[in-house]
Amino acid sequence: MDTKILHVDAGAGYDIVIKPGVLDDAGAHIRKALPRAKRLFLVTDSNVSPLYGPRLAASLEKLSFEVHTRVIPAGETSKSAAELVKLWEWMTAHGITRTDAVVALGGGVVGDLAGFAASTVLRGVDTVQIPTTLLSQVDSSVGGKTAIDLPAGKNLAGTFCQPRLVLMDPDTLATLPESEFMSGMAEVVKYGCIWDADFFAFLAQRPTREALTADIGHILYTCCDIKRQVVNRDEHDTGLRMILNFGHTLGHAYELAGRYETWTHGQAVAAGMVTAAELGQTLGITEPGAAGKIRAILTPLGLPTHIPCAFGYMEKAVGIDKKSAGDSVTLILLEKIGAVRPLKLPKAEVLDTLRRMTEA
């Protein structure tokens, strides 16, 4: 696979570099992007650290960076206010300055937490994202959203903080457990649903991890290119960027119902996309059969297409959705595979429809 580079115009502008083995020359890429930086604060987790931490640190130190490393516990529970405070205290205890930078090595939890900490300590220092999971490579590492979870729900406290560089090494996906790889595929399928019917068809012809891995460069590039186009046009999620949340409103309900332990984010989004398509069909927005097409692509990947969920969790998720405005909520509904429409509806109407669907 050849090196692929995409440029994002948001923030100060930055490159997404997709290259097998890029961990080994990460130092050179970061030195070019951050010529003033002398010290790097590397944040990773207990799963990723033994796999890739020393290798990345060696690459950074080769370029004369002083590297400080913090390893957080792996898992969604680390995306919390308590861990955020610990990161702030660690950074300040080591005398972080405005010319230093934070490097996030890991999946979405690490990227979100480290990015949030970097965007707020000293009112903001530079960030480099080095995602190591499929979900973080195609989604959370690009676009500048950072967040932590609150007891009321997922990602309810955060900032927009565009990184200065994103480095993706597809080779890191080889160490992902099957469930984590397929969890990331939910976000991959989402891009086909909302933007590119041909890409959706391409994915439908590759129902196994082996087949997907053979074309992983094309998959990563396509997903990042779609997200780049969206973010360039709507950096702060006030219009077009909302379409990236297809399946997420109800997905958050499923995550909340499972206390962020039963279902991964990708699994919840998978079922959320099916439910959103069914909701759209019920409302007469989505063409008949779209939900069935999404089920058909998700099922061979081992992703859930239905998650039992008490109506109360749906009610709570709609109530705290970040696309809410007063008594209304903007739902992201398909018109057909490859085309999506944000639709502002009264929350009461949405909840009444969901209740009837749940009871049917």
Model pLDDT, residue 323: 67
> Residue 256 corresponds to which tokens in the numbers above?
């909340």
**Can you tell me the distance from the alpha carbon of 247 to that of 277, in angstroms, rounded to the nearest whole number?**
8
Per-residue pLDDT of the chain (360 residues; tens, 9 = 90+): 789 999 999 999 999 999 999 999 999 999 999 999 999 999 999 999 999 999 999 999 999 999 999 999 999 999 999 999 999 999 999 999 999 999 999 999 999 999 999 999 999 999 999 999 999 999 999 999 999 999 888 889 999 999 999 999 999 999 999 999 999 999 999 999 999 999 999 999 999 999 999 999 999 999 999 999 999 999 998 889 999 999 998 998 999 888 888 999 999 999 999 999 999 999 999 999 999 999 999 999 999 999 998 888 888 888 776 666 678 888 899 999 999 999 998 888 888 888 888 776
Q: Which residues pair with 66 in a beta bridge?
A: 39
Q: Structural domains in the chain? A: 4-175 (3.40.50.1970), 178-359 (1.20.1090.10)
Model pLDDT, residue 360: 66
Q: Is the CB of residue 192 less than 8 Å from the CB of residue 199?
A: yes
The amino acid present at 312, given as its one-letter code, is G
> Residue 138 corresponds to which tokens in the numbers above?
């195609």
**Can you tell me the distance from the alpha carbon of 104 to that of 111, in angstroms, rounded to the nearest whole number?**
5
**Can you tell me the distance from the alpha carbon of 79 to that of 73, in angstroms, rounded to the nearest whole number?**
10
Model pLDDT, residue 357: 82
Q: Is the CB of residue 126 less than 8 Å from the CB of residue 151?
A: no
Q: Which residues pair with 127 in a beta bridge?
A: 102
Sheet holding 101-106, edge to edge: 4-8, 14-18, 165-168, 126-131, 101-106, 39-45, 66-72
Q: Is the CB of residue 14 less than 8 Å from the CB of residue 72?
A: no
